[in-house]
């Protein structure tokens, strides 16, 4: 079997098109949605992601606001950046690019974000609502990567109802919120959340209909672990420099041989990454729409 492709790049382009018209409507009502980013330090990966987010905004007509701080900036400078976006009416929502440099009080800083402006859905109030309102509609931003995975599957007509899902990794941007989102009543997946303390990850993967690979280890998931026909989402990214070109190449968490066994795979790049970015735009548009309907 050769797996079918979950083309995140194409689906993200379709969603961008849908967002353009919603943004146009907001503008007709005098609302200009704006996305802010706070980047601390000069990690090349983080720089590239932030640049991508600003390009995406430009493409769909969202204003983008940007605060870049040096790697040695004190925590107080990050606090001030957060408070300035909280107070800025031009900023509908924003993200603090993670990971912050070592030594930053990351969790304390994330808690300073106004939960209504938390475009990543990672503020404890928003993560807490995901837990507490497990069977009720949510009106807050969802974490972008898990939301992007769900949207990608939905657009291919793939339901997670009754499915066994192995989520590999318990990181705060992907694995942990993925577990919270996929076990909501309207999704109804059964999730095993794996980490470095999990005995026999390959066996858990063998028993799973869906695998979400978000560990950040190159080609971690092997073909012999995969249940034939399973859905495999390749989320983790490791950037390796190519000494010949001086450019970086992305290596995913899924061994290329997995495509010979799985029923569906998301490529990396071109799968979950573009979906993550477009969910950030959707979070901004939905926040602006909520503000409009409340006004
Ligand atoms: N494509 C996209 O859109 C996005 C991709 N990413 C990528 O996804 C990956 C995950 O990001 P994030 O959620 O922030 O997680 P982190 O990078 O913070 O954490 C990685 C997780 O993987 C687990 N892990 C690492 N090695 C193993 C192993 N050998 N066996 C089992 N578990 C392991 C760790 O376990 P433990 O907790 O025990 O240490 C940890 O929970 C990263 O590569 C990141 O760059 C992130 C966001 C978006
Ligand atoms: N607060 C916060 N929120 C995040 O969402 C967040 C973060 N911090 N820190 C780092 C990770 C990583 N991440 C990616 C986003 C897009 C692509 C993406 O679009 N990649 C393209 C390819 C890019 C390339 O050419 O390498 C693709 O997959 O096709 C990848 C990775 C978001 N993250």
SS (H, E, C) 61-128: CCEEEEEEECCCCCHHHHHHHHHHHHHCCCCCEEEECCCCCCCCCHHHHHHHCCHHHECCCCCHHHHH
| Residue 248 predicted with pLDDT over 90 | no
| Residue 292 predicted with pLDDT over 90 | no
| Residue 98 predicted with pLDDT over 80 | yes
Domains of the chain: 30-114 (3.40.50.10860), 143-273 (3.40.50.720)
Candidates 295, 292, 294, 293; CA nearest to 32 is: 292
Per-residue confidence (pLDDT) for residue 7, from 0 to 100: 98
Q: What is the pTM of this model?
A: 0.96
Average pLDDT rounded to a whole number, residues 204-211:
98
Residues with beta carbon inside 6 Å of ligand 2?
49, 52, 95-98, 120, 144, 173, 237, 250, 268-270, 273-274, 276-277
Per-residue confidence (pLDDT) for residue 293, from 0 to 100: 85
> Mean of the per-residue pLDDT values for the chain?
96
Q: Show which residues are catalytic.
A: 53, 97, 120
Q: Which atom of ligand 2 is nearest to the CA of 277?
A: 16
Is 285:144 a contact under the CB 8 Å cutoff? no
The DSSP symbol for 275 reads: H
ipTM: 0.96
Residues contributing to the annotated binding site for NADP(+): 169-171, 237
* Alpha carbon separation from 215 to 220, 233, 236 (Å, rounded): 8, 12, 6
pLDDT tens-digit profile of 137-146?
Answer: 888 999 999 9
Is 177:121 a contact under the CB 8 Å cutoff? yes
């Amino acid at each position: 079997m050769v797996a079918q492709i979950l083309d995140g790049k194409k689906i993200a382009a379709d969603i961008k098109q849908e967002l353009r018209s919603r943004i146009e409507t907001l503008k007709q009502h005098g609302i200009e949605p704006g996305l802010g980013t706070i980047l601390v330090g000069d990690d090349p990966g983080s720089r590239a992601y932030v640049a991508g987010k600003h390009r995406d905004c430009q493409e769909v007509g969202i204003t983008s606001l940007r605060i870049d701080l040096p790697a040695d900036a004190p925590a107080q400078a990050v606090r001030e950046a957060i408070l300035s976006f909280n107070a800025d009416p031009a900023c509908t929502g924003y993200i603090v690019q993670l990971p912050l440099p070592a030594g930053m009080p990351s969790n304390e800083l994330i808690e300073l974000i106004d939960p209504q402006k938390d475009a990543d859905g990672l503020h404890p109030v928003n993560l807490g609502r995901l837990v507490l309102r497990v069977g009720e509609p949510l009106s807050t931003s969802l974490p972008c990567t898990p939301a992007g995975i769900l949207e990608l599957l939905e657009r291919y007509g793939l339901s997670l109802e009754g499915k066994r899902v192995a989520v590999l990794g318990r990181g705060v941007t992907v694995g942990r919120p993925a577990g919270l989102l996929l076990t909501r009543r309207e999704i109804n997946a059964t999730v095993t959340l794996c980490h470095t303390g999990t005995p026999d990850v390959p066996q858990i993967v063998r028993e799973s209909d869906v695998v979400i690979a978000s560990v950040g280890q190159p080609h971690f998931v092997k073909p012999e672990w995969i249940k034939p026909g399973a859905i495999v989402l390749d989320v983790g990214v490791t950037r390796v420099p190519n000494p010949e070109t001086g450019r970086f190449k992305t290596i995913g968490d899924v061994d290329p041989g997995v495509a010979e066994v799985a029923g569906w795979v998301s490529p990396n790049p071109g799968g979950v990454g573009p979906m993550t970015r477009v969910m950030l735009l959707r979070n901004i548009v939905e926040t602006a729409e909520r503000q409009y309907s409340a006004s």
